[in-house]
Chain A
Amino acid sequence: MARFLARRLGGSALVLLGLSVVTFLLARVIPSNPAALYIGPRARPEDIARVTQALGLDQPLPIQYLTYLRGVLSGDWGTSIGTKRPVLEEILGRLPASLELIVVAMLIAIPLGIGLGVLSARWRGRGSDLLFRVISIVGVSMPAFWLALLLQIVFFRQLDLLPLTGRVDADLRFTAPITSLTGFFLVDSLISGNLTGFVDAARHIVLPAVTLAAYPAGLIARMTRSSMLEVLDQDYIRTARAFGLRGRLIANQLALRNAMPPVLTVIGLTLAYALTGTFFVEIVFNWPGLGTFAVRSLLNVDYPAIMGITLIGAAGYVLINLAVDLGQAWLDPRVRLT
């Protein structure tokens, strides 16, 4: 296991290095002069020359890349052109809001997806199977930004049940402020016994989390169904089933466990989807996370921020893949040998 781990870690590190080259090159493709962007529109030629030198933009590309890499490793990710604050600080400050949303969405999507998939496989070919399949395919076909708008119309405008946007009420800071410990409002409010804060945060997270969960739930359900069907067809399961009720119980447990590896892969994939899916959800729900910052930076060619966001997103994805691989190895010892 140690060797497997070392090999996978080494591979991930290499991919990350490659990613840093890609993000670096992307920023250099931006048609405007980075130094001019940095100073702002009223730049005088001498200012541009000064900043060009200060940012090292007069150096050859490989040197520039090494400087960039050293900065990234030492925590200096540059300064956002839009907010004039360090990019890493901006990203880390907003990450908890996005992560909380993603975690809650996955807590909805995984049980829902696996449940739908298992039931669909059990009742293969019946009407309920068809229904579940339609539900899951609808989930993967729905544009998140549109689903978000529909939910807003229904739950805010028509039913007046849930808030339109935001993470908490603006008022909350005066009535029951949530002290930030983990940055997850749901957790923080519970730890500090702030029930008002918890209810408020929970009411706000429902619609964005459901929106973000739709695609992962659908995809997980589809994969669970097909993986279960395959396992259920295999001989040992059939044999176990033949042994009556107890055997049937064992069979179900066995089947689920053996159907898990591909499902785990899909869960990893949907997590990666959620990393960018949250951009669209956050925009509609004005969720103060990484996504809103990302979209604004993309639109304003805030290239230090774009580089930072691309890198953190890709790094997150690499980590997810690593975790999935380790999970596979744990579920299926044969994987370690390959």
Chain B
Amino acid sequence: MDRSLMAPRPTPLLRQIGALIGVIALVTAACGTSASPAPTGASTAPTAAPTATPSGPLVLKVATTAGITTWDPVKSFSTEALYMANIYEPLLWVNAPGSTDQFRPGLATSWEVSADGLTWTFKLRAGATFHDGEPVTAAAVKQSIEAAADHGGASFIWGPLDTIDATDATTVTMHLKYAAPADLIASSLYGAWIVSPKALAAAAADDTYFETGVDGGSGPYTIESYTPDAEVVLAQYPAYWGGWSDVSHYDKILLTITPEAVVQQQMLDGGEADMALSIPLENIGQYKTNPDYTFIDEPSFFNYVGYFNVNKKPLDDVRVRQALSYAIPYDDIITIGAQGYGTQSHGPVPAGVFPYSADVPQYKQNLDMAKQLLKDAGHEGGGFSLELTYASENQNEARFAPLIKDAYAKIGVDVTLTPMLFSQQWERSKGDAAARQDMFLVLYWPTYSDAGSDNLWSLFHSSKNPFFNLSYWNDPAYDKLVDDAGGLTATDRAAAQAKYVEAMNRLVDQAPGLFFYDTKFVMPLKKTIAGYQYNLNYPFAQFFYPLHPAS
């Protein structure tokens, strides 16, 4: 099927903005002062054990930057995913890379796909209930997914869906318009939560129904209290199908919304937090040698990408773009932007996410090569200027953007740095073509675990009205490779991967963009907490159910 006929998959701005405001700190830390909601507090009270009050409930105290843009699980498309992932469940979960099985059951226990990739059948778990006591039924799944496809924050992920049927009380069948990996889509962190029909009906009648902090999930925890910008308390849902007796699960999770990384550091050191999800990257290294902590240092879903505006001279010349790619000080950018917690990207797909390949080539800084290429292109010694826009909310971009300016100055190219609010940077990139930027920095990540249909398509596939293709690049050969690969993903993932790698090789060679680095997820974890598992497929989410005090 011709992918150009499919609905484009814009990667929504809301998520970008939400993330830029709050979550950047969560993944790449070192958040600055901007956009700060208020937490309740931090103190020096030294408590050695992570388990809060004696004789009271077993409480896990977590410091996070993640604010709540909405409690509506259908609309959710931002930082609240941290909470949602513990309150709601999807049909399937994607396992961390390297696991034996790619998926594990969520509310579906088994599933199968027809040979043409068009019909997907899910068998539901028996005995699962929503927090309001209603059973999880096929009808509830149908309603939830239809709501998500209709008006969800991430509705576009359901673009391939034609109809969804409740075949019987415990069987759901999805009919797709074209072959697509419905298993990956159904395990998305956004737009795939299964919600109680009662709550859906209440939200249909009053679209602020969820916003006071009520939920309609089936997950292990339920919202006990919510103070905007301050704290969220999650409590066990006693009838959770997974049960509570296997290990000593935490009774309650107290999440303190703390926008300042430095405050989180103090909360962790002072014992006021058992887990702090964003420690300043500048100082996080000190926990590596601290015997009380395990230092988690894992690949993540995120990477930094730059766009060249290929419609503007001299960026329309591939040699100029290659020269500019050679001039970037990749290592310094990782040292400064990520404080070393990053790895240089191989194209726009972050390490560990399908269809990443370490065989995709990288540029290394080579100023002689850059100068030579400029000379070949008729710009000996540079002599032109470029304007680079970046999101002022993003402290990491603010720190490494000057390195680009410095480096380009060395090949005679003058760069004007223009920080703007992301929403303004975004608006300008779609406005009057003559007034658009020359270069654009963005922090990107795929909505669900398919960076082929997301990163590769969204960032560089041509479309009539560019959404995230802010290079405005239009390359039929690339488009065809990506389209072909997309059609193969549901039926032959290895063949799809091969096509995608070919596409990425072309991308790096043609250089419509810059591929800076994949960020890493780093977090010091107290050794008093056991059961922690990192899963890069769910950025922003931490799963509290498997956690328990170390014996």
Contacts and interface: CB of A to CB of B under 8 A. Distances in A.
Asked if A and B touch directly (CB within 8 angstroms), the answer is: yes
Interface of A: 32, 40-42, 82-85, 90, 93, 156, 160, 163-171, 173-175, 200, 203-204, 282-283, 286-289, 292-293, 295-296, 299-301
Contacts of A286: 36, 38-39, 41-42, 258-260, 263
A175 B43 CA distance: 15
A32 B231 CA distance: 32
B287 to A, nearest CB: 18
Contacts of B542: none
Contact of A170 (B13, B16, B56, B61): B61
Q: Which of B45, B70, B228, B254 has the most CB of A within 10 A?
A: B228
28 contacts: A32-B424, A41-B13, A41-B16, A41-B423, A42-B14, A163-B42, A165-B42, A165-B260, A166-B43, A169-B41, A169-B42, A169-B43, A169-B45, A170-B41, A170-B231, A170-B254, A171-B272, A173-B233, A173-B254, A174-B57, A200-B43, A283-B33, A286-B258, A286-B259, A288-B230, A296-B37, A300-B21, A300-B421
Contacts of B13: 40-42
A175 B16 CA distance: 39
Given A83-B228, A283-B33, A296-B36, A164 B266 contact: yes
Say whether chain B's binding surface is mostly helix, strand, loop, or mixed. Answer: loop
B43 A163 contact: yes
A283 B36 contact: yes
B317 interface: no
B70 A84 contact: yes
Interface residues of B, number: 53
A257 B61 CA distance: 54
Given A32-B423, A166-B41, A171-B45, 12 more contacts: A41-B14, A42-B12, A82-B69, A84-B208, A164-B263, A169-B42, A169-B272, A170-B39, A286-B258, A292-B229, A296-B36, A299-B393
B89 to A, nearest CB: 24
B286 interface: no
A165 B273 CA distance: 14
Given A41-B13, A166-B42, A174-B57, A295 B228 contact: no
B4 interface: no
A151 to B, nearest CB: 14
Contacts of A296: 35-37
Contacts of B272: 169-171
B551 interface: no
B211 interface: yes
Contacts of B150: none
B44 A174 contact: no
Interface in B23-63: 33-45, 47, 52-53, 56-57, 59, 61
Contacts of A174: 52-53, 56-57, 59, 254
Contacts of A293: 37-38, 229
B492 interface: no
Contacts of B42: 163-166, 169-170, 286
Given A288-B39, A289-B38, A165 B263 contact: yes
Contact of B39 (A166, A171, A299): A166
A301 B231 contact: no
B214 interface: no
B352 interface: no
A82 B35 CA distance: 11
Contacts of B229: 83, 288, 292-293
Q: Which of A85, A200, A283, A296 has the most CB of B within 10 A?
A: A296
Contacts of B208: 84-85
Contacts of B45: 169, 171
B12 A167 contact: no
A217 B421 CA distance: 37
Nearest to A31: B424
Nearest to B262: A164
B105 interface: no
Contact of A41 (B59, B259, B426): B426
Contacts of A283: 33, 36
Nearest to A161: B44
A330 B33 CA distance: 45
Interface string B463-481: 0000000000000000000
Contact of A292 (B38, B227, B263): B38
Nearest to A175: B53
Contact of B41 (A32, A90, A204, A295): A204
Contacts of B57: 174
B40 A168 contact: yes
Contacts of B231: 170
B427 A299 contact: no
Nearest to A292: B38
B228 A85 contact: yes
Contacts of A165: 39, 41-42, 260, 263, 266
Contacts of A292: 36-38, 229
A167 B229 CA distance: 13
A163 B228 contact: no
A288 B34 contact: no
B412 interface: no
Contacts of A288: 38-40, 227, 229-230
Contacts of B230: 288
9 nearest CB pairs, A to B:
A166-B41, A41-B13, A288-B38, A163-B43, A292-B38, A169-B43, A174-B53, A170-B256, A165-B42
